[in-house]
Amino acid sequence: MFVFKRFGLSILGIVMLLSSCQQHENKKIRSTTLFVNFLEGDPPSLHPFQLQNHIRGRALGKLLYEGLTRIAENGTIEMAGAISYDRSPSGLEYIFYLRDHKWSDGSDVTAHDYVKAWTWALSPQSDCSSSYYFFPILNARNVKKGETPSESLGVIAMDSKRLKITLERPTPYFLTLLAHPLFSPVDAKEEPKKFNGPFVLNQWDFGSKIVCKKNPNFWNQEAVKLECIYISMIQDCAATYSLFEKGELDWIGDPLSQLPSEYVVHLEQGGLLKSKVVNRYFWVYLNLQNEKLNSSFFRHALSLSIDRCQVARYIFDHYQPLTTPLPLSLTLLRDSPVYFDLERAKHLFEKELQVLDVNPCTIVLSLKYCSEVHSHKKMAEYLKEVWEKNLGIQVELIGEQWNHLFPSIQSGDYQICGFVNSAYYNDPIELLDEQSQEQNYTHWFSTEYEKILLQAKELIDPDKRRACLAAAEKILVEEMPFIPIANVTHLYAHHPTLKGYRLDHAGCVDFSYAYLY
C-alpha cells in the first residue's frame, strides 16, 4: 500500500508528536524537498566533462549547470544562459547574446567562461571523454588532435555578453546539443567549486548522499520551486521500493534505477506506473580486437541466436525488440533485417569453425555486465545459455559496478558487453558516427562506411542526406560490429503531486523546475 506521507527522512516521522507550529514548518519542508535515489551510486565527478557519460550524471548536471539552451517540458528548445541568438543564412555562424547571469559566488557568467571551458574540453591533454560532441565547431577536431592551435577554434567571445560560434558545416541539431551540461561554462579543470545552474552542491557524502540546494544567484531562481533535492545512494531495489511505498522516496524507476518485474506489476495494478519510449537502446558490444569476434560470420551467428521478442517480454519489461541497428525513432530502414534464426546461426558458425579449424568447446568468451542492474544480469545469463546451448562455446560472466565497467569498455578491456546507451540528440548521424569516433567501443572500421558518413555530413538536401545515412545503416546490418537487442521504454513512478519535471528524447530527467503541490 502506498501511503505517500512525504517523510523525507525517517526521523521526520516524529513530526506528528510535535506542536502545530512545528507540523506546519515540517509540512513546508517536505513540500519543497524532493527525495530521489541513484541506484548505481555516486557519479565519478561533478565536472560536466565527466557527467555526460552517465544518465544520472546528466540529470545532476542539469541541476548544477546552465548552458546556452535548455530542453523545455514539451521537448522543444528554449533559451537559457543566452537570451537570444542570430544565425547566418548559411547556418554556419551563430551569435549568442548572454543574459545577466551569475555564478553561485555572485560573480558574472561571461562569454569568456564558455570559450575557456570549451577550449579545456578540446585540449589534447583534457580528460573530457565526450569531446567529440564539440566537433561540429570549426577546427574542433584538429584542435583536439593537437594539429591546430586552440586559437583557431571557432568560438570567440566578442565581448562579455556576446559569444560567436562558427561551425564547419550546417548542423541541424546544434541547439539541442548545446542543452547538454557538457556545453555549460565551468570554472575549473578539476572539480568545480561554483555552479551556475538552478541548484548548487550543499553536501556530498560519498556512498551515502548528495544534497543540492536552490541557487539564490540563479537568473531564473523565482521559477525554481524546490528548495532542496536530496539524492540517496541506496543500491538495493527492495530497499528503495520500500521507501517509495512509505512516501520517503519521490521517484522510483528509470532513468535513475531499474524496476524489477514484480514491482512493475505492482505499480501497474496500483495505477501508478508511467512509461515513455525513449532514444535509449540495449546493444551488445563486440570487441573486434578479439580474433574470434573479428569474423562477421561469427558475429552474425551470435546475433541470430538471440530471440529478441522473448528478451523484450521476459527480461526487459515493456521494452521493444530492436530489429534494426538504430532505435525505433531514428532508424532509416523500413524492413527488419536483424532477426532470430537458430538454423542459420548454426550454419554460419560451422562455416566459421571450418576457417578457424577449431573445436567449438575450446572457444571461451568473457561477457561483462552491470552488476547493479538486475535485468542486465538476467540478459547476460540468457546470452550465456543460448550461446553455449546452440553454438557449443563457453561464456564466462563477469559482473562489475558501472563506475568500474564503463572505464574498462572505454579502454577496450572487454570482449563482449551489453549495456544501455543513449542518443543525446534526435538525429541518426550521432549513433552512426559513433562507429568512427573516440567512442567506437567495438574497434570496427570500414573505409566505405567512413566515406558514406563524410558524404552525408556535407549534404544539405534532407532527402539525399537521409538516403546516404540509410546506406550507412545497411552496412552496420551487414557487418554487425554490435548486436542490437531492444529499444528502451522508461518505466517509472513518482509522488502523485510531482509536476514540472522534464524527460527529454533520450530519457534524461530534469528536476530543475519540478514542484510538489
* Other beta carbons less than 10 A from residue 454's beta carbon: 11
Say which residue the cell 584538429 belongs to.
142
Concatenated DSSP letters of 118-138 = HHHHTSTT---TTGGGGTTBT
CA distance 3 to 423: 36
CA distance 476 to 471: 9
pTM above 0.75, yes or no: yes
Cβ neighbourhood burial of 41 (10 Å; 0-12, 13-18, 19+): middle
Let me know: does 46 contact 63? Beta carbons within 8 Å.
Answer: no
CA distance 305 to 337: 14
Q: What is the chain's length? A: 517
Which DSSP letter does residue 337 get? Answer: -
The answer to whether the Cα torsion of 94, 120, 52, 142 is positive or negative is positive
Q: Which amino acid is at 56?
A: R
Note the pLDDT of residue 438.
61
- Beta strand 274-286 with 155-159 is unpaired
Note the pLDDT of residue 288.
96
Let me know: does 392 contact 342? Beta carbons within 8 Å.
Answer: no
Tens place of pLDDT per residue across the chain (517 aa):
555 555 444 433 323 323 333 444 455 556 899 999 999 899 989 999 998 878 899 999 999 999 999 999 888 999 999 999 999 998 999 999 999 999 999 999 999 999 999 999 999 999 897 898 999 999 999 999 999 999 999 999 999 999 999 999 888 899 999 999 999 999 888 899 999 999 999 999 999 999 999 999 999 999 999 999 999 999 999 999 999 999 999 999 999 988 888 899 999 999 999 999 999 999 999 999 998 899 999 999 999 999 999 999 899 878 999 999 999 999 999 888 999 999 999 999 998 898 878 888 899 999 999 998 889 999 999 999 999 999 999 999 999 998 899 999 989 999 999 999 888 888 899 899 888 766 789 999 999 999 999 899 888 888 999 999 999 999 999 999 999 999 999 999 999 999 999 999 889 999 999 999 9
CA distance 508 to 430: 17
The answer to whether the Cα torsion of 134, 140, 145, 149 is positive or negative is negative
Domain 10-45+197-250+495-516: which CATH number of 1.10.579.10, 3.60.15.10, 3.40.190.10, 3.90.1260.10: 3.40.190.10
Note the pLDDT of residue 337.
92
Query: Cα(first)–Cα(last) distance of the chain, in Å?
Result: 21
Note the pLDDT of residue 53.
78
Radius of gyration in angstroms for the set of CA atoms belonging to the chain, rounded to a whole number: 24
**Under CATH, which architecture does the 66-183 domain have?**
Alpha-Beta Complex (3.90)
3-state secondary structure of 488: strand
CA distance 25 to 34: 16
* Helix locations, 43-91, DSSP H: 48-51, 55-64
Residues 6+ apart with CB under 8 A from 152: 138, 139, 142, 143
Q: Enter the C-alpha cell of residue 218.
A: 540563479
Say which residue the cell 566537433 belongs to.
135
The answer to whether the Cα torsion of 18, 24, 26, 30 is positive or negative is positive
H/E/C letters for each residue in 238-259?
A: HHHHHHHHCCCCCEEECCCCCC
Let me know: does 188 contact 194? Beta carbons within 8 Å.
Answer: no
Domain range list for the chain: 10-45+197-250+495-516, 66-183, 277-490
In 3D, which of 154, 184, 162, 137 has the Cα closest to residue 83? 162
3-state secondary structure of 210: strand
Is the domain 277-490 a CATH 2.60.40.1840 member?
no
Let me know: does 339 contact 304? Beta carbons within 8 Å.
Answer: yes
Q: What DSSP element (H or E) covers 200?
A: strand 199-205
Number of H helices, E strands in the chain: 16, 21
Note the pLDDT of residue 425.
84
**Helix 296-304, helix 342-356: angle, nearest 10:** 150
